[in-house]
Structure 1
Amino acid sequence: MSPKGLDYELLNENVKKVQYAVRGELYLRAAELQKEGKKIIFTNVGNPHALGQKPLTFPRQVVALCQAPFLLDDPNVGLFFPADAIARAKHYLSLQLGGLGAYSDSRGNPGVRKEVAEFIERRDGYPSDPELIFLTDGASKGVMQILNIIIRGEGDGILVPLPQYPLYSAGISLFGGSLISYYLEETANWGLDINSARQSVAQARSRGITVRAMVIINPGNPTGQCLSVENLKEIIRFCYQEKLALLADEVYQQNIYQDERSFVSAKKVLMDMGPPFSKDIQLVSFHSVSKGYYGECGQRGGYFEMTNIPPETVDEIYKVASISLSPNVPAQIFMGLMVNPPKPGDISHDQFVRESKAVIESLRRRAHIMTDGFNSCRNVVCNFTEGAMYSFPQIRLPPKALEAAKRAGKVPDVFYCLKLLEATGISTVPGSGFGQKEGVFHLRTTILPAEEEMPAIMASFQKFNDEFMEQYEDYKGYSRM
């Protein structure tokens, strides 16, 4: 019988190449164990509300009123909703003809895009054009749109940091391009060595690949570092020399857990550098409501801003966005609320500040608990999580563990993470899913479990790790890293 249209052997080969470790083998096994009744702690994905983070009150109030506008006509609405939430709901409904059930412009609602532009201008000190801002269904959708626009085939390469968030490797595979990796330096707290990027571009070109763009993730995922201004300047000079577009994934910009290095956007550094860089570098910056103190992953709100992108290219991006007609309209309102929160003097301001500060301060404490916990474990070493939502400890696996993994037909860190899952219910992601140097093994876990549960989780991890090392390592070689 001849194969039919959706039979596996006839599928797009690029789809078959796609791998996405965050929802890969470990996640599927965790889901199976959960069905069997085992308690699973899903630390594999940055999903704050699923791990107990409470929604912020003000944005949920505003969106609730927008979703149910008949409540605004109820004379008792003021008994249940503060006046500033009522006013903001009316504001967004006045911007959106037909309410939340109607399509918006394919770039997103012009009024919300204006709020995003004003936020960027306040943050960076430079003008932002709402016409060069597209609202998207989460930052991921924006990244995929831009990769789709850039990549023409396997002869086009995208320079991506390793370890990297697998959205990039998956998207590049899906669109038929080539991932060109540059390594972050673990011993320098995951700092960027521009020489690694330079060598990678030269090697790619020697293979006939045209490197088109460079990706930075700041703060880092899975590595948790914050790029310094000097690092960002190096990156911009490099992109200028090599004629690369710069794709700046900045979705964790509110997630900062130390005082030594604050987040500084790629756009601000670019503009501060002045011509020729500020006039020449093509920059696309991404942000999201999924992270920060909002953590509204399920709402799927995001945006990207374009700097120095030719008008004809912007038109093509608009055309592609139009195929989907409209980004999620409720998520656009969440984005407007994120970039334009209650102001001092507003009824909801104090509560909003109190709630948002509590989230970030708790995450800061959890980052310390987790880093200290990993570093107290046998054969484990972990850089401090400066930002984002993850720890990325290195697990120094003994030779007997490598042999056991080989016999089981598993990559060594997959073998370790599966054993961890079976023993403790802690669902992580092996470092091999993000890319790492040969012979070096990691796992990625979020810092999102509830703060009161974190000590018990780390104790459970340490007990497992000690038993694992006891089983596979000559005890005489024991050393606490």
Structure 2
Amino acid sequence: MTLTHSNKVLQLRNINSKILQTQYAVRGEIAIRAEQLRKELESNPQSFPFKKIINCNIGNPQQLNQKPITFFRQIMSLLEYPELFKNTEYLDKIKYIYPNDVINRAQQILRQSGPIGAYSHSKGIPYVRNAVAKYIHERDGYESNPEHIFLTNGASPAVQMILSVIIQHLDVGVLIPIPQYPLYSASLALLGGKPVPYYLDEKTNWGLDIKEIKDAIRTHKEQGIDVRAMCIINPGNPTGNCLTGDQIEQVINLCHEERIVLLADEVYQTNVYSGKSFISAKKNFELFSFHSISKGVLGECGRRGGYVECTGISEDIIDQIYKIASISLCPSVSGQIMVGLMVDPPRKGEESYSLYKKEVTDIHNSLERRCKILCDAFNQMKNMSCQNAEGSMYVFPRIDFPPACEAEASRIGKQVDEFYAIELLNNTGICVVPGSGFGQKPGTFHIRSTFLPQEEDFPDFIRLFLEFHDSFMRKYE
């Protein structure tokens, strides 16, 4: 029997329809086109008016050459080959290469977690969960129960796991901010939940409006939607805003009043700039809070490590979450250990502290400088305005497109911000995400760009962007 496309069992018409409805713009059509261009550049470097693809579509710092933190990588290297500790000759040699606190910490981790090639507890390595609980207590002043902490392969699987528990039926609604990180809309589409959008106010630097949220709840309840959860992203993605203590208090009060569970996406909590402070949502109410090693100053995206802390959640629900976690046996042990290092870095007085402190400070300060440079550049461009990012790794400028540009985009069947992003990529190699992939107020258009290109590459990056934008606007005026 000849296997042809027409006689294959799996066809687009008969697979899970929820998958077909799911969209994820961060790695959508434009990102796929960027990978095609990258391959063409490798085989024919002279084929385009640019030398490389600059991936500003995703928060992936090490892809753009952010240096890993030395202390963390030194420990991981020793854990990968623990035989070094069993041979006196090897041990004498590594003492010349690694600081004593690195060697001691690696040996401690091996004693407490065992080999990194073995499965761990399905909730995660106990000593790492204890370290996370201690970190949360030191950060917020509230006790944290390590038995209510689940280590995960990054924050995204944790969000999906919790949403799978919350969404009981097709009419369960989850409040999501607009603009939002499309993990939420995509996960709701897969799970069959209903997104309940609430718009952030661009004029107040993407501020959160409680009246807007209450109106969204009321409107959807009138339509028979069971609104039972709310997501906040703090600091914001894609907007870069930081919620104030007053705003978080209002959200918590709203959750009490409306009997809503809060999901607090706090993965950018160390990416805070402009003198702002991160304020967590940790209080005694029904809360799931998420953190990750992918962001901050670590940028360990490919290692896959994160956690969710369950606060105020009933034990019988914790048991059900544990059951879901057990189906996957355990998250990446390497990622779990990196979570433990993130929450328990070198302390003052330890041998590695000074280098660690310098590295994280240098990365943070550089990110803050790059953020300001990119915001300022966008605000100088014609028909573009950009709110100053207070946190995260992104800016979300608004673009007012000329009518001729909108007409051309419509002619080829594209949203105008998508058309702009495609043209930007094809002419400069810069890959950004159109605002329509995150949601935006009707009649407004944006793009999301990271500010992760390295500081020494920033002048060329900004020049390419400015030259393209000026040419694009003149073409369609």
Q: Give the TM bin, normalised by the shorter chain.
A: over 0.9
Secondary structure of 1:169's partner? helix
Q: CA deviation at 1:4?
A: 5.4
TM-score, normalised with respect to structure 1:
0.94
The match for 2:135 is 119
> Contact between 1:369 and 1:455, CA under 8 Å: does it hold in 2?
no
The within-5 A match list for 1:363-442 is 363-442=367-446
TM-score, normalised with respect to structure 2:
0.95
Distance of 2:234 and 2:10 partners within structure 1: 39
The match for 2:179 is 163
Secondary structure of 2:116's partner? helix
Q: CA deviation at 1:7?
A: 2.2
Secondary structure of 2:254's partner? helix
Q: Specify the code of the residue in structure 2 equivalent to 1:339.
A: V
The match for 1:176 is 192
> Is there any run of 5+ residues in structure 2 with no aligned partner, and where?
42-47
Deviation sequence 1:174-228 (CA, Å, 0-9, x none): 0011111000000000000111111111111111110110000000000000000
> Contact between 1:301 and 1:332, CA under 8 Å: does it hold in 2?
yes
Q: Specify the code of the residue in structure 1 equivalent to 2:272.
A: I
Give me the CA root mean square deviation. Answer: 1.1
Secondary structure of 2:309's partner? strand
Secondary structure of 2:200's partner? strand
Q: CA deviation at 1:466?
A: 1.1
Distance of 1:248 and 1:6 partners within structure 2: 38
Of 29, 43, 53, the residue aligned with 2:56 is: 43
The within-5 A match list for 1:36-185 is 36-37=40-41, 38=48, 39-73=52-86, 74=90, 75-97=92-114, 99-185=115-201
Q: CA deviation at 1:67?
A: 1.0
Deviation sequence 1:309-348 (CA, Å, 0-9, x none): 0100000000000000011101111010000000111110
Deviation sequence 1:218-253 (CA, Å, 0-9, x none): 000000000000000111111111100000000000
Deviation sequence 1:64-91 (CA, Å, 0-9, x none): 1111101223231201111111111111
Of 449, 462, 469, the residue aligned with 2:466 is: 462
The match for 1:197 is 213
The within-5 A match list for 1:242-321 is 242-259=258-275, 261-267=276-282, 270=283, 278=284, 281-321=285-325
Question: Which range moves more in the overlay, 220-229 or 448-457?
Answer: 448-457
Distance of 2:168 and 2:463 partners within structure 1: 49
> Contact between 1:417 and 1:430, CA under 8 Å: does it hold in 2?
yes
Q: Specify the code of the residue in structure 2 equivalent to 1:385.
A: A
> Contact between 1:3 and 1:10, CA under 8 Å: does it hold in 2?
no
Question: Which range moves more in the overlay, 17-26 or 71-80?
Answer: 71-80
Q: Specify the code of the residue in structure 1 equivalent to 2:461.
A: I
> Contact between 1:159 and 1:215, CA under 8 Å: does it hold in 2?
yes
Secondary structure of 2:151's partner? strand
The match for 1:334 is 338
Q: Specify the code of the residue in structure 2 equivalent to 1:81.
A: Y
Q: Specify the code of the residue in structure 1 equivalent to 2:280.
A: S
Secondary structure of 1:92's partner? helix
Q: CA deviation at 1:3?
A: 6.6
> Contact between 1:72 and 1:86, CA under 8 Å: does it hold in 2?
no
Distance of 1:358 and 1:114 partners within structure 2: 29
Q: Specify the code of the residue in structure 2 equivalent to 1:384.
A: N
Secondary structure of 1:58's partner? helix
Secondary structure of 2:231's partner? strand
Distance of 2:113 and 2:454 partners within structure 1: 37
Distance of 1:174 and 1:83 partners within structure 2: 48
Question: Which range moves more in the overlay, 210-219 or 88-97?
Answer: 88-97
> Contact between 1:84 and 1:347, CA under 8 Å: does it hold in 2?
yes
Distance of 2:85 and 2:342 partners within structure 1: 22
Secondary structure of 1:122's partner? helix
Question: Which range moves more in the overlay, 73-82 or 373-382?
Answer: 73-82
Distance of 1:153 and 1:33 partners within structure 2: 42
Q: CA deviation at 1:6?
A: 2.4
Question: Which range moves more in the overlay, 160-169 or 87-96?
Answer: 87-96
Distance of 1:6 and 1:321 partners within structure 2: 29
Q: Specify the code of the residue in structure 2 equivalent to 1:93.
A: L
Distance of 2:446 and 2:157 partners within structure 1: 28
The match for 1:273 is none
Distance 1:318 1:226, change over 3 A: same
Secondary structure of 2:199's partner? strand
Of 361, 364, 377, the residue aligned with 2:365 is: 361
Question: Which range moves more in the overlay, 383-392 or 26-35?
Answer: 26-35
> Is there any run of 5+ residues in structure 1 with no aligned partner, and where?
271-277, 474-481
Distance of 1:67 and 1:437 partners within structure 2: 49
Q: Specify the code of the residue in structure 1 equivalent to 2:179.
A: P
Q: For this pair of structures, how many residues does the alignment match?
A: 460
- Identical columns (%): 50
Q: Specify the code of the residue in structure 2 equivalent to 1:67.
A: E
Corresponding position: 1:241 with 2:245: no
Secondary structure of 1:101's partner? coil
Distance of 2:237 and 2:369 partners within structure 1: 19
Secondary structure of 1:406's partner? helix
The match for 1:274 is none
